[in-house]
Amino acid sequence: MNIPFCKPYYSGNEIKYIKKAMRSGKLSGNGKITQKCQEIFENKYQFKKCFLTTSCTDALEMSALLLEIRPGDEVIMPSYTFVSTANAFTLRGAKIVFIDSRADYPGIDESKIEESITPKTRAIVPVHYAGIACDMDKIMAIAKKHSLYVVEDAAQAIDSYYIGKSGFKRPLGGIGHLAAFSFHDTKNIIAGEGGLLVINDDRYIKSAEIIWEKGTNRAAFWRGEVDKYHWVDIGSSFLPSEITAAFLLAQLEILEEIQERRKKIWSCYDENLQNLERKNIIRLPIIPKYATNNAHMYYIICRDVSERGALIAYLKRNGILSVFHYDGLHQSEYYKKIQGCRELPFCEKYSDCLLRLPMFYELKLRDVERVSKQISRFYDSNRKK
């Protein structure tokens, strides 16, 4: 039996809530189900204000609008990330300043951020890769020192936490001024497509609602705060339909069950592959002491790009789909056309060598063991040649 890389999980209540939305007579955005989802996030994680969006990309674009990013502004972020992280700010005319990954982890090298700050720098966008926290104490201290904004790209980081120096745990997405989450069907909880903008700074709550509602004060009108609504600022159609929110609500209700299962799968991989790491054949993920693990993905680091390609092909022949992840954005034709060539060696190492293994709720532990055994057999056969 083949093992896919990813498979969307359905709790069983998605259709029930979608039907409820249909019976309500309101399918467009910002209805009761959307509001309920937002309240769940606000109550569970103590986020100040949440807005469901049609995607994490939209949440990032809203962030750029809220911060009034303009042509000539500079925004710092890792190169090892999805293109949406950069696109959101490039669309506003910003110059993207890419930072290398850490040697031990694909996330941004926090020690390289400050040296890249100039008088034109406006924001830092840390990406919590694989749901594992960046060093947010360090990043927030740099931002405060230089009067910069922090937008957490928490696309993969639902239900993951940062443990500060005091030992206090804070949810990822609740630390920077703004944050963006994804509910794409590869994520821990899903809505097919969908996202969430988190506002942690009171200054942006009112403006965010206007931008979210196509630049109008329509939400205030529905609350009876104004007699009629007007076009009051720039904005777009960022809010999702009630159908999307209904699907997400069913997922939110079993978030803890989903997380418990994914963590068991992650731990099973980690236990089964330790022997290969001890022999220095592959590298396994690390969890820094200041981070928790939300089991968004399990990856291994191969020794070079040809080895990774051979392993992908070997697993595929044995009915297992594994995938590589990002090519560093600094290596893209678009970026090189604008800003020229750069070298970011650790980012390039992950681009060439990182391999993601199957990870989804319904993956059986015996299937995890099968994947792990096939990886071991690949390396055993290569050593015998």
pLDDT of residue 236: 85
**Domain over 14-252 is classified CATH 2.40.110.10:** no
CA atoms of 9 and 101, how far apart (whole Å): 31
* 182-223 tens-digit pLDDT: 999 999 999 999 999 999 999 999 999 989 988 777 766 666
Say yes or no: do domains 14-252 and 255-384 share a fold: no
Every domain of the chain and the residues it spans: 14-252, 255-384
* 38-91 tens-digit pLDDT: 999 999 999 999 999 999 999 999 999 999 999 999 999 999 999 999 999 999
Alpha helices in 223-304 (DSSP H): 242-252, 255-278
* 82-116 tens-digit pLDDT: 999 999 999 999 999 999 999 999 999 999 999 99
Give the model's confidence band at 377: pLDDT under 50 very low, under 70 low, under 90 confident, else very high: very high
Distant-in-sequence, close-in-space partners of 106: CB < 8 Å, separation ≥ 6? 78, 80, 129, 130, 347, 350, 354
CATH for 255-384 (2.40.160.20, 3.60.20.10, 3.90.1150.10, 3.30.1200.10)? 3.90.1150.10
DSSP code for 106:
S
pTM: 0.95
pLDDT of residue 384: 56
Q: What is the mean pLDDT of residues 343-366?
A: 97
